[in-house]
Structure 1
């Protein structure tokens, strides 16, 4: 199996959302990461990032959410362009794993018409709740006539231990990471927003946008346990880590 790190856009938010000691008004840049996994049984995309319209018409796509998560990427910085750079199109993706259904993680789902969409049951529930928009869920991102595989526990996607979905709630009810085992590069946890920025793990702090702080901190404990066992942790939006990663055609194997 090969793992390709792909860009799904770039946002800017208040730094205090993630780091409580940051100065008021200080901003943080957040790369939006997507991950392509090329398994012998199919091509998997972990998260689909921001919809292309987020760059060109943020208010039209995000509504009032655009005030809090400001797009700062060019119009061609999205997962479809990133896939093209590795020689694939949307129809080449067999499985899409939604770490959760917030707009910057499933914005391009609609383009993957041939894929099966894996999503935690609690995310479907949250995305359908009356207050869904206020919590970052936009129907245009996820409400499509696509084949869905809804789960509520750990899932070995291909039955060979190479790709296991691991629920890591706290940021949202059904936030899910993916444990990836590669032959040469070792094990990785794609943590998504269970760990958006590395500092939250190092300082054992919860971002202000966590739905459930206690659950978030328990998930941090699990992430720390995995790291102590030798698993490399890939954060959802950490700028310093993103700059250090191999990206695009330069795969981890």
Structure 2
């Protein structure tokens, strides 16, 4: 099994010394499945980025998810499973190229979007398109040998994280936006995440994920938007195995 980490753009906040990375992930299983986790900003952001509100959403040529996949010899049609952690624009900006994949989303997240949750209107043209058919999940679920999805609400209703077991690296936890950076791993003392939909649930998910990381003896915990950690991780075409 291999884990590739893609650089899909960045958030640039005024006064912040480093931009916050926008990652995506590809898991290649021993059975030959390609599992993509999140799709990054929409391709149009390369030439037509939105106005900063408050952060600039920046994306360079080549950081579009389809281009990132091409750099390791894959096309959207090679993706067997697309895991959508949640429907924010930096995670679900490009669902349509992967309409042939088995697209996995938590039922709670889909219900919130369909009910008109305002933060998901920016990606509605993607998730509400007739070509997109989700397989809706309820809670933690194993999706392949060595790959589990972990329900982790708080940042949004129905957020999901990923636990995988690599043969050489060992267990790896992708918290996605349930834990944004390494300063937020203590559920009791973590700062209030202004982007979180529900702070109490975010703390519960932090507690759950960090307990899972300890129980599984995770060798690598990758946080959602951690500029300090980002500098030291392997990025595609390099990989973890």
TM normalised by structure 1 equals: 0.86
User: Of Structure 1 and Structure 2, which has the larger fraction of its residues in helix?
Assistant: 1
What is the correspondence of 1:20-99 to structure 2 with a 5 Å cutoff?
A: 26=16, 29-39=19-29, 40-59=31-50, 66-99=52-85
Q: Distance in 1 between matches of 2:122 and 2:209?
A: 25
User: 1:241 maps to which residue?
Assistant: 229
Distance across 2 between alignment mates of 1:70 and 1:58: 8
What is the correspondence of 1:197-208 to structure 2 with a 5 Å cutoff? 197-201=181-185, 203-208=189-194
Query: Aligned partners of 1:222 and 1:78: how far apart in 2?
Result: 32
CA RMSD, aligned part only?
1.9
Q: Hey, what does 2:142 align to over in structure 1?
A: 156
Instruction: Choose from 102, 105, 108 the match for 1:122.
Output: 108
Match for 1:172 among 147, 150, 156?
156
What residue is the counterpart of 2:240 in the other structure? Answer: 252
Q: Could you give the per-residue CA deviations for residues 20-40 of structure 1, whole angstroms, max 9, x where no partner exists?
A: xxxxx5475211110000111
Contact 1:200 1:207 in 2 (8 A): no
Q: Secondary structure at the match of 1:138?
A: helix
Q: Which runs of 5+ in 1 are unaligned?
A: 15-24
User: Quick one: distance in 1 between partners of 2:64 and 2:228?
Assistant: 20
Query: Runs of 4+ in structure 1 displaced over 6 angstroms?
Result: none
Q: In structure 2, how many angstroms separate the alpha carbons of the residues matched to 1:221 and 1:244?
A: 25
**1:143 aligns with one of 128, 132, 141:** 128
1:117 positional shift: 0.6
Output the TM-score relative to the length of structure 2.
0.90
How far apart in 2 are the matches of 1:176 and 1:93? 19
SS of aligned partner of 1:146: coil
Q: Which runs of 5+ in 2 are unaligned?
A: none
Query: When the two structures are aligned, how many residues end up with a matched partner?
Result: 235
Q: 1:67, CA displacement in angstroms? A: 1.7
Distance in 1 between the 2:149 and 2:23 partners? Answer: 17
Judge conservation of contact 1:52–1:76 (CA < 8 Å) in 2: no
